[in-house]
Amino acid sequence: METSLSQPILAQILHPGSPTEHITALRTLKNDIIGHQQRKETWVGLGILDSTVQASASTESRQDSKLGQEPARDTESLSEEETLRLQALSILGSLAYGGPPFIEPLHCAFALPAILSNLCPSTNPPQLVAAALQALSNLTESTCLSLASSTFSITSLADSIFSTSHVGSMYKIFSQSSTLPHTRSQVCLAASLISKLCQNERHRSILANAGLLDALATRLAGIIAIQGLVIPGADAAVEKEGLVNKFPYAEGSEGADLAIILECIGVIVADSKLRACQLIYSSAILAVFPLFPTTDFAPNRSTKAEWAAYNASDPSGRQLQMNAVDYLIPNVSTSYTNSVSGIGSAFPPLGTQGPSDSIMQDSGSKTAAWPHRNLASTELPPGSSGVGDAEEPESPLVPYLIWLTRSSTDIGRLMAAYLLAGLYRAGVTAKSREISIGLLVIPILVGLLERAAEHSTTNDARQTAKLWLLMERTPAVIAKLIIDSEYLQKSAYEAGIISKLAKMMKSSYDRVPTNHEARTWSSGGSSSEVDKDSVHTSRSSKLGDSGLSALLVHKIRVRESVLRAIAALVPFKDEYRKSIVDQGTMPFIVESLKPHPEKPSHKVNEKSETTPKTSAGEASSLNSGFGINPTSVLIAACGAVRHLSRSVSILRTTLVDNGVVMPIFNLLSHSDIEVQIAATATVCNIVTEFSPMRETISAAGVLKILCQHAHSANVNLRLNALWALKHLVQSAGNDIKMACVEELGQGWLVQLICEDTEDDAAYTSSTRSTVVDQDNDVHMNYSDDEDYKQKMADNATGVSSANKSPGFSRKFPESERAKSISGSTSQLVNSRFAALQKGELSLGKKAQENDTAVQEQGLDLIRNLIGAYNSTGPAENSDMIDFLFHSFGQDQIFEILASKLRPKVINPFSKRGSDIGSGNGETRIVPPQPEIITSVEYILANVAASVPRHRQQVVAQTELLKLVLEQSSHPDKEVRLALCWLVINLTWVEDDQDTVTRTQRVRELTKLGFLAKMEVLERDCDLDVRDRAKTALWQMKQTTVPASSR
C-alpha cells in the first residue's frame, strides 16, 4: 500500500462526510487488508481502530429485548447504518485474524464490546450476527496464540462473552427456527466459539443454566431425524408422553455440522452427571430416542424393513439388548476376557462387511439400515445385566454415539467419542457398555492417531487443520475413556497406542522456527516505515507482542494430550509403565515438567536448575523453538510422572537417572495453585521411604514447602500436602518428625483433625444462596481430564456470584417437567433429578467428603509420627509419643480421638419443617466414617506398640476403649482388623517385668468386653480378621505364662 494513496481513505474513515462515503472508505480498507499482514499493521499504526470500532457498535442492541422476541428479518437488503456496521465488523474480524500482535490494540480500542453489541439475533440482521461471530472466533484463535503473560487471556475473553447480558444472545442463536444459510452459519460459528472458550466449570454451569444445552440437544435431535434414525414407534411414545410439540421434523438440510454440535455439547457436559442427565432427558432427545418406546408399532410405508424385523423379534430375547439403536452397531460379547485372542476374535476387522457391519455408512446418510441381529448369542458377565439398572435404562443416545464413532468422518468420529466419553465418565451408561467401548471405539481412536501422525502436514491448509485437531484431541479423548478402567486400558495397549504416543511425544519437541525467524519480507515496508506524521501514538495504534506460531501451539497441545493419555494408561500395570519407559519418552516427560523447556536429552544435566527462570529465561525459551509449557502441560506431566512412579523399579532407576526430582520441586512453588496441587500429589510418591530421591528433595527444603501447603485454604492442596507429609515422616528420624510438628504448628494440627472446616463453610454458603454447583465429581488429588479439573469450593462460589440466571433446579422444577413429560418417563426423570438435587448437588455432602479425606490424612500423619518402624526399637517411638503428649496434652489427644468415634449431629437446633426442600435446615446424624475409625484405631495401636507405660495409658482410657469396642461389628473389614491389632499390642508383654502389668491390662480389657468380642471375630468372614483375632485371644489367655517360656 502506497502511503500517498492511504491518506484520502484515512481521512474519509476518521472524518467521514456522509454515510455513503464512510461505507465506501471502509469497504476499500477491507479489500486492502484482507490477506496482507503488513498492510494490517500499517493501518493500525495510522490509528483507524478507534473510528472503525465506533462504526461497528450497534445502538439498537443496547436496549433490552424480550427473551421471546422473534429474530430480526431474514433479508439480504441492509440499511446504510447496518451496511456500515457490517463493513466495520469485517475489518475488525480481518484484523483479529492477523494474530497476537493485534489483540492488544483491539482491546485498547474497546472492540470486544462493540462486536458483542451485534450478537443478538433479535435486534440485528443475520449478516451482522454472523460477522460478529466470525470476528469473535478470529479474536479467540489469536488469543490462543498469545503468550501466557499477556494481559488479555482466553479466560477474560470467555468471561465477557458468557456474561449475563450476552449468554442470552447465544441461546437465541441456537433457538432460531430458520433454515437459511445465514442461520446455519451462525449456529456453526457459535458452537465452535463455545468449544474454544468454555474451559472451566463456572462457564459450563452458566451455559447450561441459560438453556444452551437444551437448545443444542434440540439441534442434535433434528439431525438425528434427518438421518432417519428416529426409533420406530417414537411418534407413538412421544404422543403418550406428551412430547408431540417437541418432535423434530426432518425438513430442509441437516443444519449445523454434526461434529461441531457434538463437540459443543461435549464441552458443556464435561463429566457432570447433572448436565449429562439434562442432555439425555431433554424433551427433544426423548422425542427421537424415548427411554420406553412402544413394544409394538404399526408399520407403514416409511417404516424400514429392518425395523419390522425388530418388531417381529422375540420380546424375551429383545430385553437382552440395550435398546433398539444397538441394532446399528456390531454385536459383541459382554464377557470379560483376559486373552488377547479373545478380544481379537470378538472385535470385527474394520474392513469386514458381515451382517452386523452392513450399516457402516456415512453419518449424513438418510437411508441408514437397521439390520436384524441374533440376540440369542449375547453373553452377559456374571452379576451384570444388559440394561444395567432396571430403574435407569440407558439412553439410546449412547449406542448412537458408538455408531457415529464407527461410521462418520474422522472429525465426526472424534467428536462423537468425545461426547461418549463425557457420558461414560458421568456414569449414565450401562455397566456392560464398557465392553462395547473397548471393542468398538478404542481401536477406532487409536487408528485415528496413526493416520493423523502419518499425514500431519499437507499442502491443503484445511486438511492440515483437521489433522492437527485429530492429533491434539484424540489422545485426550482416549485418556478420558480409559482413566479408571483396566479393561479399557488393556484395549488401548493391545491396539498399539504406546508406540504412537511415544512418536507423537518426541515429535512435539521438534524445534519450530519462532515468529521472528519466520517473518516474511514485504516491499511495502512495515508500520515503522510509514510517515511519522501520520502515525498515531494512542494505545490502540501500537501492536502487541508477536505471540507464538500456530505450529508451536499445536505441538504444545499435542504434548498435553499425550501426557494425559500416558497418565491414564499406566496407573495399574507395571507392564504398561515399562513399555512407556522403553520407548525413550522419559526425557521428554521431564522437559514437560519445566515451564521453559529445552531440547530433551537422554543424559542428565548435573547442573539441573533449582530456581525458576527469570523473564530473561522466558525470552530465551521463546527463541529456543520449544515454546513455553503452559500450566495445563505442567499438570499433565505431573500426572504422568506420578503414575509412572507407582512402579518401584522406575522410581528407583529411571526417574533418578532422568533427574525428575528438581523440576518437581520447583513446581511446588509455582504461581498457579493447580500446578502446586499436581506437583504435591506427585511428591507423595517421591518421598516414600524406599525412594532414593527422598534425601535429595528433603535437602532442598521440601518439608517447609509442604507444611506451608498444608495451611492452604484450598482443600485439594491441603489434602495432598498432608498426604506427602505422611509419607515423608514415615520411618524418618525423630529430628525430622519434630521439625514437621513445629513447622505445622501444634495448635493447627489439633484444629485440623478436630474441626469440620469445609463442612461449616459449605453450610454457611448454602444458607446464603440457593444456587448450587452442578457437578459433584470429587477427586482427592487432581483431575486428569481438561477436565481436570473441577474446582469444587472456588467454582461453587463462582457460580453463585457470576450467574444471575436461575439454577437448574429452579429453571426446571418438578412441576414444570411434569407438564411436558408424563407417564413412566416423567417418573424416571423426576426421581433422577430429585436424587441429583438431594445428593450430588449438595454442598454439604461434598464438604463432608473433603473433611473426611483431610482428617484421615491428618490422623495418618500422627500415626506415622509415632510409628515404631526403625531398628532402634520402641525407645525412639516412646520419645516421639512423649513429645506429642507434651506438645498437645495427653488428655486432649485422647479426647480428640474419642470425638472422632462419636456420631456427628448436623444443625442440631433446627426447627422441624424449616427450609423444606433445601435440605439445609434438617437435623442430621452422621456416623463416623470407616476411614476415620481405622486411623484412630491404628494411632492407639502405635501408642500401645511402645513401652509398657504407654500401654497402661491407653488401657486407662475407659470411655475411649468403649467407643472402640462398638466398632467390632462394623461392616468395613479394615475397621475390624485394626481393632484386632490394637488388642494384640495392648496384650503384648515386653519382658518378665511387664508380666504383672500385662495381667492388669488383660483384666481391664476383659471387663470391658474385648475377650468376648475377640471370640466373635475369631469366626469372622474375613481371613485376615480371623487370624489377628486368634492371635489376640491367645495373648489374652496367656496371662500367667512368662515371656521367656514363649
| Average confidence (pLDDT) over 21-34 | 92
Q: What is the pLDDT, as a whole number, of residue 824?
A: 59
In a domain, 510, yes or no: no
How far apart, in whole angstroms, are the C-alpha atoms of residue 731 and residue 869?
6
Phi, psi of 926 (to 5 degrees): -105, 115
DSSP letters, 335-381, are -----HHHHHHHSPPTT---GGGTT---TT-S--------GGG----
Query: Given a cut of 90, is residue 822 above it in pLDDT?
Result: no
Alpha helix ranges (H) inside 17-125: 19-33, 37-45, 49-56, 80-96, 103-108, 111-116
CA-CA distance, 120 to 128, in Å (whole number)?
9
- Considering the chain, what percentage of its residues have pLDDT values greater than 90? 50
pLDDT band at 287 (very low <50, low <70, confident <90, very high): confident
Q: Strand, helix or coil at 324? A: helix
Residue 400 CA, distance from chain mean position = 24
Instruction: Lowest mean pLDDT of 314-328, 422-436, 668-682, name the range.
Output: 314-328
Q: Which of 149, 171, 197 is the last residue of a domain?
A: 197
Summarised one tens digit per residue, pLDDT across range 555-595 is 999 999 999 999 999 999 999 999 999 999 999 999 999 99
Residue at 660 is within a domain:
no
Question: Do the domain assignments include residue 246?
Answer: no
Q: What are phi and psi of 263, to 5 degrees?
A: -65, -45
Mean pLDDT across 719-733: 93
Closest C-alpha to 693, from 629, 645, 745: 645
pLDDT of residue 431: 87
**pLDDT tens digits, residue range 480-536?**
999 999 999 999 999 999 999 999 999 999 998 865 554 444 444 444 444 444 455
Question: According to the per-residue pLDDT averaged within each range, which of 72-76, 202-206, 519-523 is highest?
Answer: 202-206
Which residue has cell 502389668? 997
Label residue 238 by pLDDT band (50, 70, 90). Answer: low
Q: Which three cell numbers stand for residue 629?
A: 509449557
Q: What is the mean pLDDT of residues 163-183?
A: 88
Q: Where does 227-359 have alpha helices with state H?
A: 234-241, 258-269, 273-280, 283-288, 305-312, 315-318, 340-346
Instruction: Tell me the β-bridge partners of 904.
Output: 926
Is residue 765 within 8 Å of residue 737, measured between CB atoms?
no
Long-range contacts of 949-956 (CB under 8 A, 24+ apart): 950/878, 950/881, 951/985, 951/986, 951/988, 951/997, 951/1001, 952/997, 952/1000, 952/1001, 953/890, 954/986, 955/986, 955/1000, 955/1001, 955/1004, 955/1005
CB 633 within 8 A of CB 560: yes
d(CA 510, CA 78): 50
Instruction: Compute the average pLDDT of residues 207-227.
Output: 92
The stretch 792-810 carries a mean pLDDT of 35
Task: Quick: pLDDT tens for 14-25.
Answer: 888 898 999 999
pLDDT on residue 922: 67
Q: Is the pLDDT assigned to residue 250 strictly greater than 70?
A: no
By three-state DSSP, how is residue 732 classified? coil
Tell me the three state secondary structure of residue 674: helix
Rounded to an integer, the average pLDDT of 87-103 is 94
Query: What is the distance between the alpha carbons of residues 253 and 251, in angstroms, rounded to a whole number?
Result: 7
Report whether pLDDT(896) > 70.
yes
Mean pLDDT check: name the lowest of 162-171, 522-531, 547-556: 522-531
Is the Cα torsion angle 4, 9, 11, 17 positive or negative in sign?
A: positive
The DSSP code for 206 is H
Q: Report CA Rg, the chain.
A: 33
In a domain, 588, yes or no: no
For residue 115, how many other CB atoms are within 10 A of its CB? 28
Q: Is residue 47 part of a domain?
A: yes
What b/e readout covers 523-539, taking b as 16+ CB neighbours within 10 angstroms? eeeebeebeeeebbeee
Is pLDDT of 182 > 90? no
Supply the pLDDT for residue 527. Answer: 42
Q: How confident is the model at residue 832 (pLDDT cuts 50, 70, 90)?
A: confident
- 50 in a domain, yes or no? yes
Number of domains in the chain: 2
Cell numbers at residue 129, please? 450476527
* CB contact at 8 A, 226 and 819: no
Q: What is the pLDDT of residue 668?
A: 96
* Per-residue pLDDT at 152: 85
pTM: predicted TM-score of the whole model, two decimal places: 0.83
Q: How far apart are CA 662 and CA 608, in angstroms?
A: 7
Residue 538 dihedral angles phi and psi, to the nearest 5° = -70, 160
Whether residue 439 has pLDDT greater than 70: yes
The CA distance from 566 to 636, in Å, is: 9
- Residue ending a domain, among 163, 182, 197, is 197
Residue 678: what pLDDT? 97
Q: pLDDT band at 453, cuts 50/70/90? A: confident
Q: Which residue has the higher pLDDT, 289 or 246?
A: 289
Q: Residue with C-alpha cell 459433584?
A: 776
Query: Whose grid coordinates read 445385566?
Result: 385
Q: Is residue 89 part of a domain?
A: yes
Percent over 70 (pLDDT), the chain: 71
pLDDT at 8: 83
H or E stretch covering 926: strand 924-926
**Of 65-74, 123-132, 934-943, where does mean pLDDT reach its minimum?**
65-74
The angle, 0 to 180 degrees and rounded to 10, between the axes of the packed helices 1010-1017 and 958-965 is 20
pLDDT digits (tens, 9 = 90+) for 927-972: 899 999 999 999 999 999 988 999 999 999 999 999 999 999 999 9
Half-sphere exposure of 146 (CA within 13 A, CB side): 27
- Residue type present at position 562: V
Q: How far apart are the first and last CA of the chain?
A: 102
Give the pLDDT score at 384: 38
Residue 956 belongs to a domain with what CATH number? 1.25.10.10
Of 74-78, 431-435, 665-669, 954-958, minimum mean pLDDT range? 74-78
CB atoms within 10 A of CB 383: 6
Q: Can you tell me which residue has the cell 506398640?
A: 945
647: helix, coil or strand?
Answer: coil
pLDDT at 605 over 90: no
pLDDT tens by residue, 148-162 = 777 788 999 999 999
**502 contacts 589 by C-beta, under 8 angstroms:** no
- Give residue 908's pLDDT: 67
pLDDT in tens, 381-424: 333 333 333 447 889 999 999 999 999 999 999 999 999 999 99
How many alpha carbons fall within 13 Å on the CB side of residue 189?
A: 24
Quick one: 911 exposed, middle or buried, by C-beta within 10 A (0-12, 13-18, 19+)?
exposed
Instruction: Confirm if 238 and 293 have CB atoms less than 8 A apart.
Output: no
Average pLDDT over residues 271-286: 90
Separation between Cα atoms, residue 437 and residue 445, nearest integer Å: 11
Question: pLDDT-derived band of residue 236, with 50, 70 and 90 as boundaries?
Answer: low
Residue 487 in any domain: the answer is no
Amino acid at 213: L
Q: How many residues does the chain have?
A: 1046
- SS3 label, residue 776: coil
Out of 134, 169, 197, a domain closes at 197
Q: Assess whether pLDDT exceeds 70 at residue 252.
A: no
Helix intervals (H) in 609-660: 615-624, 631-644, 648-652, 654-657
Q: Give the residue, 416 or 748, on which the prediction is more confident.
A: 416
DSSP 395: P
pLDDT at position 239: 62
Distance CA(823)–CA(686), nearest Å, equals 56
CB atoms closer than 10 angstroms to residue 830: 17
Phi, psi of 905 (to 5 degrees): -100, 120
Over residues 766-784, the mean pLDDT reads 36
Domain carrying residue 100: 3-69+79-197
Residues 6+ apart with CB under 8 A from 349: none
pLDDT at residue 740 greater than cutoff 90: yes
Of 389-403, 430-444, 622-636, the one with minimum mean pLDDT is 389-403
Of the candidate ranges 666-675, 755-764, 876-885, 945-954, the one whose mean pLDDT is the lowest: 755-764
pLDDT of residue 349: 39
Distance of CA 315 to the CA centre of its chain: 40
Mode of pairing for the β-strands spanning 924-926 and 904-906:
antiparallel
d(CA 100, CA 114): 19
Q: For residues 622 and 745, which has the higher predicted lDDT (pLDDT)?
A: 745
Strand partners, 906: 924
Average pLDDT, the chain: 78
Given a cut of 60, whether residue 220 has pLDDT beyond it is yes
pLDDT band at 773 (very low <50, low <70, confident <90, very high): very low
User: What is the rounded average pLDDT of the residues 825-830?
Assistant: 69
For residues 464-476, average pLDDT: 94
* Cβ contacts of 177 within 8 Å, gap of 6 or more: none
